[in-house]
């Protein structure tokens, strides 16, 4: 429930704001409270770390013109260093626990994925192989289509967009109504030089996008296509 509150605030799917700060702040407050009550619960620590590491990027997530800024394009200097440090410390705590033989749960793996992103000084320096390996472990626990979609994004950076697109296309039946599925396909098709197909996928993503910041970003990317 706490993560649902956080996601509703961070994705702001129900309105025009890019982020509902009141909801994300409340979710983190509840996560810290839960951590105090259950200090030995690894998934509680993972949940709090996950929210902190994501929220640390908040200031860089939307441009001055109100357009979504993707992780790869964000100004990492604008990330909140205090939140990053708090989240990374929790992840390191769980890494030590795993080294002692504890099995990581879903939230711990998601936090670890975000910690890899946070540790990279630039998008180019991201250790994508680590992210793919973490997603491989996560899929064993949760093979939901969205998890597999996110894994495919990382696969594109390791094995190339053609390999990733094949994996994404296998998710069509499950995710056809999800804007991020079509946005991911559009980007992979763009990277493969298949502009007409990419434009169609961008159009579908724009039609399904939940707020103006996402629509503005997707529209710009579509309009930049060759041809």
**Domain boundary at 134, 153, 184, which?**
134
Residues 4 and 116 in one domain: yes
- Is the separation of the CB atoms in 66 and 32 below 8 Å? no
CATH number at residue 156: 1.25.40.10
Nearest residue to 10 (alpha-carbon basis) of 23, 205, 87, 32: 23
Which of 101, 134, 167 is at the close of a domain? 134
Tell me: do 45 and 96 sit in the same domain. Answer: yes
Q: Are residues 112 and 147 in the same domain?
A: no
183 and 221 fall within a common domain:
yes
**Tens digits of residue pLDDT in 68-84:** 999 999 999 999 999 99
Return the pLDDT at 12: 62
The first and second tokens of residue 179, run together, are 């804007």
Say if residue 80 is in the same domain as residue 118. yes
pLDDT at position 9: 86
Number of domains in the chain: 2
pLDDT in tens, 19-65: 788 899 999 999 999 999 999 999 999 999 999 999 999 999 999 99
53 in the same domain as 103: yes
* The predicted structure's pLDDT at residue 17: 56
Q: Which of 91, 116, 134 is the last residue of a domain?
A: 134
Query: Under a CB-based contact definition with an 8 Å cutoff, are residues 86 and 118 in contact?
Result: no
**Co-location of 105 and 69 in the same domain:** yes
pTM over 0.85: yes
Q: What pLDDT does residue 184 have?
A: 98
Structural domain harbouring 47: 1-134
- Tell me, yes or no, whether 116 and 51 share the same domain: yes
What was the pLDDT predicted at 226? 81
CA distance 131 to 108: 13
Residue 92 shares a structural domain with residue 194? no
In tens digits, the chain (227 residues) has pLDDT values of: 999 999 988 876 444 556 788 899 999 999 999 999 999 999 999 999 999 999 999 999 999 998 999 999 999 999 999 999 999 999 999 999 999 999 999 999 999 999 999 999 999 999 999 999 999 999 999 999 999 999 999 999 999 999 999 999 999 999 999 999 999 999 999 999 999 999 999 999 999 998 889 999 999 999 999 86
Q: Which tokens is 22 given?
A: 């009141």
Do 159 and 69 belong to one domain?
no
């Amino acid at each position: 429930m706490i993560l649902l509150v956080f996601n509703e605030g961070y994705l702001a799917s129900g309105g025009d704001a890019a982020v509902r700060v009141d909801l994300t702040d409340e979710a983190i407050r509840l996560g810290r409270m839960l951590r105090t009550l259950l200090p030995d619960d690894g998934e509680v620590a993972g949940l709090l770390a996950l929210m902190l590491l994501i929220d640390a990027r908040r200031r860089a997530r939307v441009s001055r013109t109100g357009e979504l800024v993707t992780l790869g394009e964000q100004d990492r200097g604008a990330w909140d260093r205090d939140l990053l440090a708090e989240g990374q410390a929790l992840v390191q705590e769980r890494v030590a626990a795993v080294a002692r033989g504890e099995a990581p749960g879903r939230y711990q793996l998601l936090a670890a994925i975000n910690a890899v992103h946070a540790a990279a000084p630039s998008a180019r320096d991201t250790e994508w192989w680590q992210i793919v390996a973490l997603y491989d472990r996560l899929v064993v626990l949760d093979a939901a289509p969205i998890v597999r979609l996110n894994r495919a994004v990382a696969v594109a950076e390791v094995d190339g967009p053609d390999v990733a697109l094949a994996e994404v296309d296998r998710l069509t039946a499950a995710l056809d109504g999800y804007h991020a599925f079509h946005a991911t396909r559009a980007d992979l098709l763009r990277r493969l030089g298949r502009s007409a197909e990419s434009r169609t996928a961008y159009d579908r993503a724009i039609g399904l996008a939940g707020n103006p910041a996402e629509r503005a970003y997707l529209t710009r990317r579509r309009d930049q296509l060759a041809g």
